A = this chain, B = another copy of it.
Amino acid sequence: MGRASTSPGALTVETCVSRYEPLTPDTLPARLGDLASVADAVGGAPETWRVEEVGDGNLNLVFIVEGSAGSVVVKQALPYVRLVGDSWPLPLKRAYFEYNALIRQENVAPGIVPGVKHFDEDQALIVMEHLVPHIILRGQTMAGREVAGLGQIMGRFCAETAFRCSDLAMEAGAKKGDVALFSGNVELCEITENLVFTDPYFDAEMNRHTAPQLDGVVAELRADTALKIEAQHMKRAFTARAETLCHGDLHAGSIMVTDTAVRVIDPEFAFYGPLSFDIGMLMGNYLMAYHAMSAHLRDRTDCAAYQTWLLGVTRETWESFAGRFRQLWQTERKGILYPSALYEDQGHGDAAERACDELLAEIFSDLLGFAGIEMHRRILGLAHVAEFDSIEDPDIRAPLEERSLRLGRDLVLGRRDITDIETVLDMARARETGEGQ
């Protein structure tokens, strides 16, 4: 696998060293200054570029590079988990999977992910569009600011990536080729396999939770054998249902927004998985934001209004997903599954619609399982969310976390019986007002 780039000109550049070496703000201009695709976007002499390292995630170096013409983001993988240190190695090739996911996502759902300007596999770095003045979604929601069109855009993005990267739309050989390609993302899948699906459900070493306030409910969940079985059934779906190219980590820190714009970043966890995975994880994040809200918007009227908006986003995300998925089913079902030769061409167009209904029902059922598990692991596992973690007083934080934990369990265990999004919103409201359980 050689160096690649979306800019043909960049392929001839020979200044990159072939041995991996982490960039620093000081070395970046000299090392990337000769790349036409970068230099054009930033502008001016490289030695005048302003470079800032802003990585606040768990895994990578992230630089913002500014010059006279504009700015770009340079993201470079580190050979270990930044959050933990070099005691937890993580392969550089994740940049290869992120790059491959970004170009596919741009292809099937244009305009949502950052534009890629350059990819260097040896250096595990991607130069991409700088999204400005965007902030991460959870920053926006914690501040109580709405995002126009959020649910509609995210539902559409999830539907387009799910449908168009599956056997519903792709040529079979190309889809199997992508399954093979992304099967290499072993280590990042392993993080999800352990931290999301397993560790939260027993007393694993890296877990933490708000103690002692949550000790009771945590013990209750870990003694709930039906829940533990269902979580592993969902893990089996994660590991084996190679239905479509999933973003793999679509939480509220992988979405960047302004009041009126929505973008999706960071698909380094990309893998072939269930049609329901990304939207399920996203739904779990919406519902945690909902339960955390009263700690961030202290005015009860403001909070109630914002929570109503958040539930509306949850509804709109599903409705947008289902609507767009059905539209693609009707217009772009050119893959090997449910071929029109079998339905429309035989005067059985109604059967094609029923098959779509059944598939959407299956996706809905599964997304509830993934949503509930995401809500558990963010409160019981290693990686928490700022919506809860930023609530300093544990006596305020714990009861809000408990609402999400209990709702999560109800979604996982009820996922085969809950058939519409309004029921989910009612369950969330009931937890919030103490009417649940």
Contacts and interface: CB of A to CB of B under 8 A. Distances in A.
Contacts of A359: 233, 236
B229 A354 contact: yes
B202 A233 contact: no
A350 interface: yes
A45 interface: no
A348 B222 CA distance: 10
A222 B345 CA distance: 12
Contacts of A331: none
A239 B167 contact: yes
Nearest to A244: B240
A190 B172 contact: yes
Contacts of A180: 179-181, 183-184
A15 interface: no
Interface residues of A, number: 51
Contacts of A184: 176, 180
A229 B179 contact: no
A193 interface: yes
A186 B172 contact: yes
Interface string A173-213: 10111011101101001100110001001101000000000
A396 interface: no
A339 B243 CA distance: 24
B239 A240 contact: no
Contacts of A232: 337-338, 342, 355
B358 A167 contact: no
B176 A189 contact: yes
A177 B183 contact: yes
Contacts of A138: none
Contacts of A405: none
Contact of A348 (B179, B228, B343): B228
A346 to B, nearest CB: 6
A430 interface: no
Nearest to A275: B240
A242 interface: yes
Contacts of A186: 172-173, 176
A241 interface: yes
A358 B233 contact: yes
Contacts of A226: 351
B173 A351 contact: no
Interface in A308-340: 336-339
Contacts of A235: 336-337
A336 B241 CA distance: 15
B342 A202 contact: yes
Nearest to A346: B202
Contacts of A202: 341-342, 345-346
Sort A-B residue pairs by CB-CB distance and give the 3 closest, nearest first. Answer: A225-B351, A180-B183, A180-B180
28 contacts: A172-B189, A173-B190, A176-B189, A179-B180, A179-B183, A180-B180, A180-B183, A193-B336, A194-B336, A198-B339, A202-B346, A225-B343, A228-B342, A228-B343, A228-B351, A229-B338, A229-B355, A229-B358, A232-B337, A232-B355, A233-B359, A235-B337, A236-B243, A239-B336, A239-B337, A240-B241, A240-B243, A241-B241
